[in-house]
């Protein structure tokens, strides 16, 4: 049987970097996403492709609402393969193209 718990996911670090809470993602989601599902996604509980995509959409929309028009033009929309290390196509060497936008929005750590 496959291991269901895969450890903290890139999603967790990215939510921290963007200063996004589970609650903010639940608020913007139009797909009945709940806090428990987001917490499972962050902690590395193996999710279905459909659930990974749902979490990814909520993540992108949460960020989108914070951006001004110029930032929206430049924003690179994340895919599930950028947020989950067990997703098909995941690349550990992925460099976040939104880093300049993120640092302008939330500053450096």
**pLDDT tens-digit series, residues 1-27:** 456 788 999 999 999 999 999 999 999
| 103 has a pLDDT exceeding 60 | yes
Domain ranges, residue 92: 10-106
In a domain, 1, yes or no: no
Q: 1-18 b/e with 16+ CB inside 10 Å = b?
A: eeeeeeeebbbbebbeeb
Q: At what angle do helices 35-43 and 49-64 cross, to 10 degrees?
A: 100
Residue 81: Cβ-neighbour burial (10 angstroms; 0-12, 13-18, 19+):
middle
In a domain, 51, yes or no: yes
In a domain, 54, yes or no: yes
- Report percent pLDDT > 70 for the chain: 95
Number of domains within the chain: 1
Average pLDDT over residues 22-44: 95
In a domain, 93, yes or no: yes
pLDDT, position 37: 96
pLDDT, position 58: 98
In a domain, 4, yes or no: no
Q: Which two tokens stand for residue 95?
A: 């460099």
Q: Which residue has the higher pLDDT, 106 or 54?
A: 54
- Give the predicted TM-score (pTM) of the model: 0.93
pLDDT, position 4: 73
């Amino acid at each position: 049987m496959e291991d269901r718990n895969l450890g903290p996911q890139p999603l967790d670090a990215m939510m921290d970097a963007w200063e996004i809470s589970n609650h903010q993602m639940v608020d913007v989601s139009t797909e009945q996403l709940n806090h428990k599902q987001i917490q499972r996604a962050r902690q590395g509980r193996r999710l279905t492709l459909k659930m990974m995509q749902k979490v990814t959409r909520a993540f992108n929309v949460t960020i989108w609402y914070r951006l001004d028009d110029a930032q929206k033009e430049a924003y690179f929309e994340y895919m599930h393969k950028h947020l989950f290390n067990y997703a098909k196509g995941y690349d550990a060497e992925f460099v976040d193209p939104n880093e300049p936008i993120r640092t302008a929005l939330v500053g450096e750590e």
